[in-house]
Amino acid sequence: MSIEVKIPAVGESITSGILSTWHKQNGDMVNDGEALFTLETDKISTEVPAVGSGKLRIQVDAGQEVKIGQLVALLEDNIKAPGGSGEPSSPAEAADFASPAANATVPRSAATTPVSVDEPVPATRRSAVEQESNETLSPAARRIAEEEKVKLSEVMGTGKHGQVTKSDLIRYLESKSSPPAAKPSAALAPDVAVSTTPATEPSPRFTRRKMSPLRKKIAAQLVLAQQNAAMLTTFNECDMSAVMQLRSQYQETFQKRHTVKLGFMAFFIKAVVEALQSVPEMNARIDDDDLVENHYYDIGVAVGTERGLVVPVIRDADKKSFAELEKEVATYAGKAREGKLHLDDLTGGVFTITNGGIYGSLLSTPILNPPQSGILGMHKIQNRPMAIGDKIEVRPMMYLAVSYDHRVVDGKEAVTFLIRVKECVEAPTRLLLEA
């Protein structure tokens, strides 16, 4: 008896994704609840656990696009062979047991004659394989063949038993797009030798790979923000001396008591909440012909991962302490890098904070995260000479940038908002006294 492993539903608007990684090998024993594979969608990357125990028989290779509800593997009971042992009783059975993917794709007509797995199937044999091409092609290969209208009879398959793979189709299309080699002139005498020195293959100059669903979503969101918002950015600079002194003074005590470091992000989240309360126009968004003003403070904090930028949301940031904010930021950052964020973690924010300074950025213009009307960009802290009264002093300075939707927010409100953030960071006691 087998347990079917299917792609689970991960959100109402998500219909497909990429099966990016198998955490178990084909033929491995899997226990109920173990992480089986990672599914990447346009919103999240999540590990999918096994729904039972058994021997894994993979049906879909890693890197393939899959639809919600699609069968991707089987979990089979460890059925014993007739001889009484758990091992196959013959070499043929051993081959059958070790290669489930091949059994699923080999047509009956091609299975009657032994075929070397390491060699391409001859053209006379490929026609038999192609009779069931719709069943044997992987989803990605089938999509390429349909979109490019490829005749499979013209493609040399290098997969098992001559199966046409995605790589075969890409090589075939690239060979068709390259200019044909010059043919020898027909006017030459038959006995005239023509130089046929083979051209050396050029070194690879680029790598082509499909964009991940998350990268596609990021690209679409950024273009949407540029096209649908009247985006403008205003800048200021912030003296980080007071915050750095406060962190240095209380870091050890804070960390012992709360088991988390006191970073800069908690100060900026608190400052943004204070500024949003002072300038409510920044906490608004356009919905069709309506202007919706939010009265809650769910702040998104951008986190960079290997798969792209994600923005988990800190709920009710106005009601949380510095320690609670730092713990949530650290937790979300860890979940983001491990691909364990849930869809609910990424939705519903009213304002976003992004910190390019951790990568060394000195100044940038952050792009809005629709449908929000504002985003704050933090940058690298750099010692610079500043005029303090009648003296020149070296201070740790940070450039701040706030991008905003000019359809919702006027320049006056945007500048007022940024100055309020600056005041709260430069004098952090304001955040405690609400002054």
Where is the domain boundary, 55, 79, 103? 79
| Confidence at residue 149, expressed as pLDDT on a 0 to 100 scale | 76
In a domain, residue 385? The reply is: yes
- One domain, residues 420 and 371: yes
Q: Could you give the CA distance from residue 375 to residue 198 in angstroms, rounded to a whole number?
A: 58
In a domain, 294, yes or no: yes
Could you tell me if 232 and 333 lie in one domain? Answer: yes
Instruction: Give the pLDDT confidence score for residue 237 in this predicted structure.
Output: 96
List the beta bridge partners of residue 305: 308
Per residue in 275-294, pLDDT tens? 999 999 999 999 888 999 99
Do residues 315 and 298 lie in contact, with contact meaning Cβ atoms separated by under 8 Å?
yes
Q: pLDDT at position 18, please? A: 81
The predicted pLDDT at position 129 comes to 42
The number of helices, as runs of H, and strands, as runs of E, in the chain is 13, 19
Per residue in 324-347, pLDDT tens? 999 999 999 998 888 788 878 888
**Interacting residues of 103 by C-beta distance below 8 A, sequence separation 6+:** 96
- H-helix or E-strand containing 55? strand 54-58
Least confident of 46-50, 320-324, 401-405: 46-50
Together in a domain, 320 and 230? yes
> Residue 87 falls within a domain, yes or no?
no
Specify which of 49-53, 153-157, 291-295 reaches the highest per-range mean pLDDT. 291-295
Question: Are residues 256 and 385 part of one domain?
Answer: yes
Omega of the bond leading into 370 within 30 degrees of 0 (cis): no
For residue 133, the model assigns a pLDDT of 52
C-alpha of 300 from chain center: 17
3-state secondary structure of 29: strand
Is residue 401 pLDDT above 70, yes or no? yes
Kindly give the pairing relationship between strand 351-355 and strand 299-301.
Answer: parallel
| Co-location of 70 and 136 in the same domain | no
Counting the structural domains of the chain, the total is 3
39, 140: one domain: no
pLDDT value at 128 more than 80: no
Asked whether residue 363 falls in the same domain as residue 218, the answer is: yes
CATH label of the domain that carries residue 55 = 2.40.50.100
Last residue of a domain, one of 79, 94, 111: 79
Nearest to 18 by CA among 164, 222, 215, 170: 215
Same domain (yes/no): 238, 319: yes
| 227 lies in the same domain as 280 | yes
Confidence of residue 260 (pLDDT cuts 50, 70, 90): very high
pLDDT greater at residue 167 or residue 130: 167
* Residue 135 to residues 18, 66, 107, 212, 232, Cα–Cα distance (Å): 20, 15, 9, 25, 52
User: Could you list the residue range(s) of the whole structural domain that residue 145 is in?
Assistant: 123-177
- With respect to residue 199, please indicate whether it lies within any of the assigned structural domains: no
- The answer to whether position 86 is within a domain reads no
Residues classed as catalytic: 406, 410
Which whole number is the average pLDDT over 400-424?
Answer: 96
- Residue 150 domain-assigned? yes
250 lies in the same domain as 364: yes
Give the number of other Cβ atoms within 10 Å of residue 414's Cβ. 24
Q: Which two tokens stand for residue 351?
A: 């304002």
Question: Residue 48 has what pLDDT?
Answer: 85
Q: How many CB atoms lie within 10 A of CB 323?
A: 16
Predicted pLDDT at 12? 57
C-alpha Rg value of the chain to the nearest Å:
30
CATH number at residue 293: 3.30.559.10
In a domain, 185, yes or no: no
β pairing state of 290-293 and 54-58:
unpaired
Name the residue among 371, 375, 363, 368 with its Cα closest to residue 275. Answer: 375
Secondary structure of 232-259 as H, E, C letters: EEEEEEEECHHHHHHHHHHHHHHHHHHC
Residues 344 and 260 in one domain: yes
Measured CA to CA, the distance from residue 66 to residue 39 in angstroms comes to 9
User: Model confidence over 181-209: pLDDT tens digits?
Assistant: 444 444 444 444 444 445 555 557 888 87
